[in-house]
Structure 1
């Protein structure tokens, strides 16, 4: 059998490749959009369903939880039964869950729909890159992954604006229903144009690992979410954390004793840079997404802007994120990765500290410095993370390393929103209850404090007699801003800590130079190009 090399023109697939890239890009746009698009709709959802702060957190967390829990399992399943089949299955799950979210009669149904939507999104995100890697060769492969990354960045950056437009123009339900026609188009194109691919030697599914990991993560997030309502020392919360730890230990034992089918290759954790990248990824997701959630809540619930107007005021962040991401792509091979990643975290930390400029009587432009710095940091961080997630290991483990890193991001996002959100709720409620106004309201003060944390500053003021409404509004606003200051300071500390980790733990000697130069090459075991022995790859370098 003849040997083909990367970039060999004897196997042209340009027609299929273009359509595959189109379908994967559509799917990626939808699933990344749904990470941020719901933020600006949360106040409207809260009003319609009279949702608690915990329910609002779950609307965000359930999606991230589904993504994190099934990323690696979906990739393993795709290698076994066929990537196109699994990808199409992910599209079907995603569109049905999106329809359920758009038609949800209660916030509980919406939360369940978001969890299932996240599972479908996890399948798409895990399998999409492998489909692209199978179809493209040489420099075209790098360009294809450039498009893939750009689409993901645009979806994250413009999510608040798109969500605001749909919410104000039509209904919050359309932020989910818009996925239905897009998914139908993607399914139709994929059925007609995409080709099947699978691994010649598929790894067995790690069913036990998947169940223990997903269940442990569920109890961990549940413990953080219930901490404020039930009390951090309550039996339910302690049980959740205990189960999370126990299942985590069982998961590690499974990975050690069943290496032939391990969901995580624990040998990756011997690489200092891999550990550093994982920690930075989790801390960055925890700090930035929780902070964005609360900043958007401040713009809408305190300053009173509509969903679309809030999206417009987030443009300094979104536009600079796009510009910085475009610049960072060309800097990955020119600047030491630890410097790029560390500096990105310092920008984010500085931006979060700028949120402390907010006072009870300030206007929205006070947030512009924070948005610019956070947008710059996030834009620099994302391309570098994508490159390093492949470069921290040898080519034969690049897909596994990338999947583990993406899992750390989603876990950081889910736990960050839950933990920082719980701290915010506790701080706001306690501040209001302990204020003279809170003591004046007596038994109603605790309920009012929780409502203020959920964004109901004006609703609480409107629910009391008119002669004390202004006093209650001022106390509620003070509690909200004080709580915002506390959690932004904590988030800034997380970002600064991740900067230190990046500077210290990410080392060039731990990185694969060729993978860093072409960071998004995915190994495909059915592709003769990718079956070149690793020793030959080293000689060709």
Structure 2
């Protein structure tokens, strides 16, 4: 008789996942970490509120505008190569941010951070997918999603604490050792992907980035100089022309960033609407709230961070505790309903008109954190499931790009509304949050309608 011995299971190395999670954490922390520190940065560098908005917005605009294009570029050049180049550039830009002697240098360095971040964000998940298979892949994606949520949420809290205890420059300088460790881990852990040799849609990348930047500039400049000012009108015209050019390039390109056929899928469009609306409403007003809490209510950066932590913690625990259960229900009901809930939460911030203190903001922060915690873990999977399997990566990247664009335009429009109230800062907060409420409710209803009948 012969006996067969089952082969010993191959041990799975989690070193590449650690490398991916560390890179993701660094990237997403910097989407929010400067928010609470903006007043300190402005006082130190002598900049006004408009310039401070660009410190946040230029990062998110670059990230949103280049995310899809970097995915195409990595297919052509190799994902590991593009990721490591992005991470190295991100570290150098972070160093320049920490040493910046003027707001202009800081904004420029933040733009480079955003460009490098797009290279990282576009390649991290494909690298994880190449490394792990079967159950290990599912586990790796679950861990990565949790780290991504924590990274994006913890930045607001960490930024305020660091700014008060160590100074705002340490927001950037303190992360340099982590950048170095992430670079070493990435170099030694990831396996290079095969190059596809596909063409890169450079015209589409340029047109989309110009459109996003010009539209953001038009909103911010309109708040400063009026929406009929020449600079505002020119920027708006450039945005329209660039958007039309983007649509044209995508229709005629042999290798478009986003195949035009995907926009004929109502569920895919619904996810884009949800991604834009929920991130705009839940987080676009955070710089305004930070400015109001420190300038009107007299809270310190650390105290402001602690108040905003209520949103962060609600987001985190909601995402961690019920995200698995949410996948059992219809995506339209979950994503649309949660986005409407964010809108209702934003509307409760009108309570500051009767009680201008941080306590009046708590219901808004808790409800928006709850709603965002429901949307965030669900919408990427729905985006991928909404299109043919061959376009799953593109759909996921497009959804993330829409989310970042929502944040960039949310910060711009909320800042414009806030500044428009002049010395009546409390009225500015109420108007800002009501605008977010209207957009979230509309996005939730439209998204739910587009997703009707779809199952992920």
Picking from 307, 313, 317, the partner of 2:311 is 317
Looking at structure 1, the residues matched to 95 and 158 of structure 2 have their Cα atoms a distance apart, in angstroms, of 18
Report if the CA contact (8 A) 2:278-2:339 is conserved: yes
Looking at structure 2, the residues matched to 366 and 331 of structure 1 have their Cα atoms a distance apart, in angstroms, of 31
Looking at structure 2, the residues matched to 394 and 369 of structure 1 have their Cα atoms a distance apart, in angstroms, of 40
Secondary structure at 1:14 match in 2:
coil
How far does the alpha carbon of each residue in 1:462-521 deviate from its partner, in whole angstroms, 9 at most, with x for none? xxxxxxxxxxxxxx3xx1111111111111011111121132111344x5xxxx4xxxxx
Partner of 1:343: 337
The runs of 4+ residues in structure 1 deviating greater than 3 Å are 9-13, 359-363
Partner of 1:92: 88
Shift of 1:288: 2.0
Looking at structure 2, the residues matched to 488 and 211 of structure 1 have their Cα atoms a distance apart, in angstroms, of 33
1:63 lines up with 2:59 in the alignment: yes
Shift of 1:10: 10
Shift of 1:157: 2.0
Looking at structure 1, the residues matched to 369 and 224 of structure 2 have their Cα atoms a distance apart, in angstroms, of 33
Shift of 1:202: 3.7
Partner of 2:227: 232
Q: CA RMSD in A?
A: 1.7
Partner of 2:436: 491
Looking at structure 2, the residues matched to 503 and 217 of structure 1 have their Cα atoms a distance apart, in angstroms, of 25
Looking at structure 1, the residues matched to 51 and 8 of structure 2 have their Cα atoms a distance apart, in angstroms, of 55
Looking at structure 1, the residues matched to 274 and 41 of structure 2 have their Cα atoms a distance apart, in angstroms, of 32
Shift of 1:361: 5.3
Report if the CA contact (8 A) 1:285-1:409 is conserved: yes
TM-score (ref. length: structure 1) = 0.80
Looking at structure 2, the residues matched to 140 and 383 of structure 1 have their Cα atoms a distance apart, in angstroms, of 19
In terms of mean alpha carbon deviation, does 285-294 or 146-155 score higher?
285-294
How far does the alpha carbon of each residue in 1:74-98 deviate from its partner, in whole angstroms, 9 at most, with x for none? 1111111111111000001101111
Partner of 2:208: 213
Partner of 2:378: 384
Partner of 2:3: none
How far does the alpha carbon of each residue in 1:347-399 deviate from its partner, in whole angstroms, 9 at most, with x for none? 21121111111147543222221111111011001011122121111211100
Picking from 189, 194, 198, the partner of 1:193 is 189
Partner of 1:248: 243
Partner of 1:419: 413
How far does the alpha carbon of each residue in 1:249-293 deviate from its partner, in whole angstroms, 9 at most, with x for none? 1111111112x2111111100101111111121122222222222
Looking at structure 2, the residues matched to 11 and 417 of structure 1 have their Cα atoms a distance apart, in angstroms, of 50
1:32 lines up with 2:46 in the alignment: no
Picking from 84, 100, 112, the partner of 2:108 is 112
Looking at structure 1, the residues matched to 298 and 389 of structure 2 have their Cα atoms a distance apart, in angstroms, of 51
Partner of 1:270: 264
Shift of 1:64: 0.2
In terms of mean alpha carbon deviation, does 299-308 or 491-500 score higher?
299-308
Change (3 A) 1:13 1:254: farther
Shift of 1:333: 2.9
Report if the CA contact (8 A) 1:164-1:311 is conserved: yes
How far does the alpha carbon of each residue in 1:234-259 deviate from its partner, in whole angstroms, 9 at most, with x for none? 2221111111111111111111112x
Show structure 2 runs of 5+ residues with no match.
1-6
Change (3 A) 1:82 1:12: farther
Looking at structure 2, the residues matched to 224 and 336 of structure 1 have their Cα atoms a distance apart, in angstroms, of 35
Partner of 1:521: none
Show structure 1 runs of 5+ residues with no match.
1-8, 430-475, 517-541
Shift of 1:203: 2.1
Secondary structure at 1:40 match in 2:
coil
How far does the alpha carbon of each residue in 1:109-166 deviate from its partner, in whole angstroms, 9 at most, with x for none? 1111111101111111110000000011112111111111111111122222211221
